[in-house]
Structure 1
């Protein structure tokens, strides 16, 4: 599994106030990925990724493989246009642009989508992290404490 992103709960709360997450927590997204084999594609499409909520440690832990790029800050920029389900860009909140049709999970709410083209620019040596598609973060509302099943990362591709 590739550690795709970490988002402070405070950032999620800022854009989706109804989520009411404990702001001491961080939400991390993990996705199936391999730079040497395409075997990850089936797992990504069938199972998606993993989502954890946890309290960050005082120091970084690097015991689970090599990062594919140095860590980068995720910036949020206001969309000057009206949002719609046709807007497939990376976005937090808003209206999801489902590629293969809307997916839901009981007790989980849509939070954001990450498109493959943004990841291709951020990690040009690792194209296809999201199988050429989009990852959708669905998350539990009101997470108070660490949770190894905090949500789901759904991956869709055309």
Structure 2
């Protein structure tokens, strides 16, 4: 049994997990930028309470965790960047208003929900899921200060964001987080991509 992540239609609030759209960043928090200086694509946001519920993390429940990733519809240059650098992960207290800095966000945004999948989990289970056993496509990632929280597979993401295909380069994206996050953190973790 494992907790499968599913993207569904609906307009999410600042206290729900959601895919795409613009995040509820506080005005004092700068939009994350890539190594080349441009704004990164907001991929998803997960409330800390949601992550805590399905994992062994102990995150301050006033916080949300947002994933930002390199992406381009006009050039494949982002592929090398995302494979070598991954995406940025920040923790913050959400504001009441959305902030937009990326010219072409994933729209419409989708709610993210969990269904209890009765099938056995394993390290070969590459479906989108929170907690459980990570399905590393390549070598296991052993980041001393970060732990695995969830994974998103490319085929499911492509269906949920059909105008932004190829974000995960046909592979799986893994959210790695610091175990105990108690305040705003612009370096709360890392979003890693692995492909075959």
TM-score computed with the length of structure 1 as normaliser: 0.96
Alignment of structure 1 residues 60-75 onto 2, 5 Å? 60-75=98-113
- What is residue 54 of structure 2 aligned with on the other side? 15
Cα deviation digits, residues 71-93 of structure 1 (max 9, x gap): 11011111111100010000000
Q: CA deviation at 1:107?
A: 1.1
Indicate the residue corresponding to 1:4 in structure 2: 43
**CA spacing shift, 1:145–1:112, aligned 2, 3 Å:** same
Aligned to 1:147: 185
Q: Which has the higher helix share?
A: 1
Residues 1:83 and 2:124 are matched in the alignment: no
Please say if 1:55 is aligned against 2:93: yes
Query: Take 1:154 and 1:11, find their aligned partners in 2: how far apart are those partners?
Result: 20
Unaligned segments of structure 1, at least 5 residues: none
- Structure 1 outlier segments of 4+, above 6 Å: none
The corresponding residue for 2:23 is none
3-state SS of the aligned residue for 2:125?
coil
Please state how far the C-alpha of 1:138 moved relative to its aligned partner: 0.6
TM-score w.r.t. the length of structure 2 is: 0.78
1:50-102 Cα offsets, whole Å, 9 max, x none, are: 10000101111123323131211011111111100010000000000000121
RMSD over aligned CA atoms reads: 0.9
Further displaced range: 144-153 or 102-111:
102-111
